Chains A and B, each alone.
Chain A
Amino acid sequence: MSDVTAERAIPDTPPAEENYLTAGTSLASWLLTTDHKRVALLYMATITVFFFLGGAAAVMMRIELVTPQGDLLSDDAYNRAFTFHGVVMVWFFLIPSIPNILGNFLLPLMIGAKDLAFPRLNLLSWYIFVIAGILAIYTLLAGGVDTGWTFYTPLSTAFANGQVLAAAAAVFVAGFSTIATSVNFIATVHLLRAPGLTWLRLPLFVWAIYATSIVMVLATPVLAMVLLLIFAERAFGIPIFDPLRGGDPILFQHLFWFYSHPAVYIMILPSFGVISELVTCFARRRVFGYNFMVYAILWIALVGFLVWGHHMFVSGQSMLANLVFSFLSFVVAVPSAIKVFNWTSTLYRGQIVFDAAMIYALGFIGLFTIGGLTGLFLASVPVDVHVTDTYFVVAHFHYIMVGGAVSALYGGLTFWWPKITGRMHPESWARFAAILMFFGFGFTFFPMFIMGFLGMPRRYHIYAPEYQIWHVLASAGAVLLAVAYLLPMGYFGWSLFRGRRATANPWGATGLEWQTSSPPPKENFFAPPVVLQGPYNYHPEHAGPPSLEREPHEPQGGPTERAP
């Protein structure tokens, strides 16, 4: 607490000039804005709502699962809860979160542009997202869906009695928003880089967002088509996958996972970018093996398209297909391992400080490592046959997506909060939340590995009593995790009004986004930046940071002059 009072004691000087937050305060100036920074905040508000909705469904499930019987929810209600949790968390939280909040805000800033390539398209994609979100909420209010987020046919087309059509429509519409955003990002990175900012001088966050956008552009339309097929079959009785008329339900799974496996990389690649920014800044070192990091991102994006069959080892696909997909899944593990090793080596001979954002980043590396290593179990066909569709898989992908992507989102928000709002968050609260998130996450999801290996199938409303101990542990951990997620909402909100004013570059970071005021002006930079060197110049190239002092770093964009 003493830290907080100390922070507040510092005199509160209002920012000297107009910034993007103060340039127009009417509602219309927000709802009709084409400023990428404001659109990012619109996304932040919307996505936070969905994070709460999806989280509420998770809370209901964790409470229900404390006992083996069904006490709180009926069978149908439970099925609807986990389906809603999956649909909302995948398409309305994880996929848009880092790209649309941090990516939207930072991409132009990091490459020295005034805005995204198509500012009006950017706003349009938010409106499309809101329409999709309203459809998703309508689905919930109209009774929910009970197919699981995977929409497997023939359950979804002929047997489920929930609002499958509305849910499919919601996801379909959300896909347009995703595609619009990613077209925008790709064009921005190609066309609007500052003079001197060559491809191999791009910060890794930009590379990650760029690779993610390519995956989005190529994978999302396949999901759109497969949802259209499902929609047509359910709504009009047109046979596509109907086994009674010669259709093939496995074909649906192939098409679905052709999207949904790359979607995993859509969710995790942006966080690789965030972590690279965080680790370098707080270790005061250039990133270890920059080129390898870039190649690893591109390799993951490419090979990620070729491994979808590992979700289907027990579906009845051929032995040959199983072995090929198993092989490719092992191959895609290599670049992820490179990234983990490189982040670790970046710490070597650094000047490490443990600010909250760094704690999130270190937690990310640990949790992502566990998530990635358990992926090796799932790539091995015989082991996967045993643990697929059990809580082992549930634990595995939550380690990647929640331990990984959500930790990175919170870490990124903590890191860029001063830039976004111009206010400092209370550091000790943030550190506490970061540590709590790491341990809360571990308590919640590690027991799931054990019960999954013991055979507990996923999507079970009632379960055999021998698994209860693990469910109780998981539910108890979820309480900690919930606090760790809610706490930042509190102190971030508090900081908006009472937080210390942020300087332009409170962390002493090198990226272009720190070379303008906090919060940035409407057009991002007072003078267009010119880039002379690569990212992460925390020390001269063939030297490390000095032993004792933090040496003044060299910003990537060179000194920018304030326009008179």
Chain B
Amino acid sequence: MSLALWPATASEQAAHIDGLFTGLLVVTGLILLLVAGLLLLFCIRYRRGTQAKRGDLPEFLRRDVELGWTAATLFLALFLFWWAGTLELRASMAPPEALEIHVVAKQWMWKARHPNGAREIDALHVPRGEAVRLVMTSQDVIHSFYVPAFRVKQDVLPGRFTEMWFRPTRTGEYRLFCAEFCGTQHSRMGGMVTVMEPEDYASWAAAQPQEQDLPGEGEALFTALGCAGCHAPASAVHAPVLQGVYGRMVHLADGRTVRADQAYLRDSILQPQRDVVAGYAPIMPSFAGLVDEADLQRLVAYLQSLRGEAAR
């Protein structure tokens, strides 16, 4: 185990922040040396019984020096504020062309989704030299996305999006931590950020299992939930065929006519008895409680996609 005194520097910001950190180290180091030096000097020179000159303090020491170092520390503080503040302002905005990766945090894992649909858990692959913007949210408590090698950290909150960006400059593997205490396994919530050459990143992303599109997932659900058993064109059960139903006007058993829009499809899944299509028996069971909001979105998206097929 080698003894590192400086963390790996793998992003553009890291270099700037290290500059500021070094500056602060020098300034505070000098102040500390001054204070410690004076303490030691006075303690030795003016220890009890030495021959050093005592007596009244010169007038300039009593007032001018006090005012002087008050002003000096104030100016130093203002200077440091200026330095840190300008650095912060310059780095605040992500460049518009930045690669946007969505991050969802939950107890106790990080989930990332790349622009092409590639997904990963507790890991993040990013291309070197390109600005990467993370759009993050949490499903439960507050977490914090922290990559020491990039010198970036941002709390991830439930119910809203927070953003951060960085531009990796060195390939390699760097640690990812959750930095905001988030419950029992807080210390296990982390992973690795892998910085790759852009072409490696492209081939990596292409090789990942793609996220299925919403209609595709909806189709799987349509079969899994048994919808296809009745609504398929070849089914023995007397149920409406759904090909091309989206957007059409349908006649209901009670004489009304409604447009089969998203809301209608959604209601028909949850409350099938309400708007029964004319000519069919009210035999469909309710799926309320069996499907959640996300499943509903998928199913409706699938039905929407069927419209195109029917038209073809």
Contacts of B183 in A (CB 8 A): 79, 146, 155, 159-160
Tell me whether B160 and A547 are in contact (CB under 8 A).
no
8 Å CB interface, B186-241 against A:
186-188
Residue from the list A154, A385, A469 in contact with B151, Cβ < 8 A: A385
Q: How far is the CA of A87 from the CA of B70 in the complex (A)?
A: 36
User: Are A465 and B155 CB-contacts (below 8 A) given A350-B46, A370-B32, A383-B21?
Assistant: no
Q: Which residues of A contact B54 (CB under 8 A)?
A: 349-351, 544-547
Q: Is B17 an interface residue (CB 8 A)?
A: yes
Q: Mark A359-382, 1 if CB is under 8 A from B, else 0.
A: 000100110011001101101111
B153 x A385 contact (CB < 8 A): yes
How many angstroms from the CA of A461 to the CA of B181 in the assembled complex? Answer: 11
Within 8 A of A (CB), among B150-178: 151-155, 157-160, 162, 175, 177-178
Contact between B69 and A341 (Cβ–Cβ < 8 Å)?
A: yes
Q: How far, in whole Å, are A319 and B5 apart by their CA atoms in the complex?
A: 31
Total A-B pairs in contact (CB under 8 Å)? Answer: 265
A545 vs B188: C-alpha distance in the bound complex, in angstroms?
Answer: 61
A411 to B179, CA, bound (A): 36
- Nearest chain A residue, comparing its CB with the CB of B85: A323
Q: A381-B85, A450-B5 are in contact. Are A334 and B35 (CB under 8 A)?
A: no
B56 touches A542 (CB 8 A): yes
The verdict on A316 contacting B155 (CB below 8 Å), with A283-B46, A366-B36, A543-B55 known, is yes
The segment from B125-133, B141-149, B258-266 that touches chain A is B141-149
The answer to whether B77 touches A334 (Cβ under 8 A) is: yes
| Interface segment out of the listed A13-21, A132-140, A243-251 | A243-251
Q: Indicate whether A432 reaches chain B with its CB closer than 8 angstroms.
A: no
Q: How far is the CB of A278 from chain B (nearest CB, A)?
A: 14
B39 touches A347 (CB 8 A): yes
Evaluate whether A459 and B186 lie within 8 angstroms (CB atoms) in the complex, with A348-B42, A352-B42, A369-B32 already known. Answer: yes
Verify if A507 is at the interface (C-beta below 8 Å from B).
no
- B84 within 8 A of partner (CB): yes
**Residue count of chain A within 8 Å CB distance of chain B:** 92
Partner of B47, one of A354, A373, A543: A354
Task: Please tell me which one of the listed residues B38, B85, B182 contacts residue A326 in the complex, with CB atoms under 8 A apart.
Answer: B85
In the assembled complex, the Cα of A460 lies from the Cα of B186 at a distance in Å of 7
A116 to B171, CA, bound (A): 67
CA distance A288 to B67 in the complex (A): 12
CB contacts (< 8 Å) of A337 on chain B: these are 69, 73
Select which of A79, A249, A353, A382 is within 8 A of B184 by beta carbon: A79
Most buried by B among A79, A338, A379, A382: A382
With a CB–CB cut-off of 8 A, which chain A residues contact B140?
154, 158-159
Is A463 part of the contact surface with B, judged by Cβ < 8 Å? yes
What is the number of residues of chain B that contact chain A, defined by CB distance less than 8 Å?
Answer: 84
- In whole Å, how far is B279's beta carbon from the nearest beta carbon of chain A? 43
**Would you list which residues of chain B between 49 and 68 have a CB under 8 Å from chain A?**
49, 51-57, 61-62, 65-66
B81 within 8 A of A: yes
A148 CB–B CB distance under 8 Å: yes
- Inside 8 A of B51's CB, which chain A residues have their CB? 547-548
Q: Say if the beta carbon of A34 comes within 8 Å of chain B.
A: no
Please give the distance in Å from B293's CB to the nearest CB on chain A. 13
Q: Is the CB of B7 within 8 A of A453?
A: yes
CA gap between A552 and B177 in the complex, in Å: 62
A200 to chain B, nearest CB (A): 16
Q: How far is the CB of B55 from chain A (nearest CB, A)?
A: 4
Check if B249 is an interface residue, CB within 8 A of chain A.
no
**Residue contacts A-B, CB under 8 angstroms, 22 given:** A158-B140, A249-B142, A288-B66, A289-B66, A323-B88, A326-B81, A350-B54, A351-B46, A354-B47, A376-B80, A383-B24, A383-B84, A386-B153, A453-B6, A454-B5, A457-B178, A460-B187, A462-B188, A544-B54, A544-B55, A547-B52, A547-B55
Q: A459-B187, A466-B4 are known contacts; what are 6 more A-B pairs with Cβ within 8 Å?
A: A338-B69, A380-B81, A386-B152, A469-B1, A544-B57, A548-B51
B interface residues with partner A (beta carbon < 8 Å): 1, 3-7, 13, 16-17, 20-21, 24, 27-28, 31-32, 35-36, 38-39, 42-43, 46-49, 51-57, 61-62, 65-66, 69-70, 73-74, 77-78, 80-81, 83-85, 87-89, 91-92, 107, 140-142, 144, 146, 148-149, 151-155, 157-160, 162, 175, 177-188
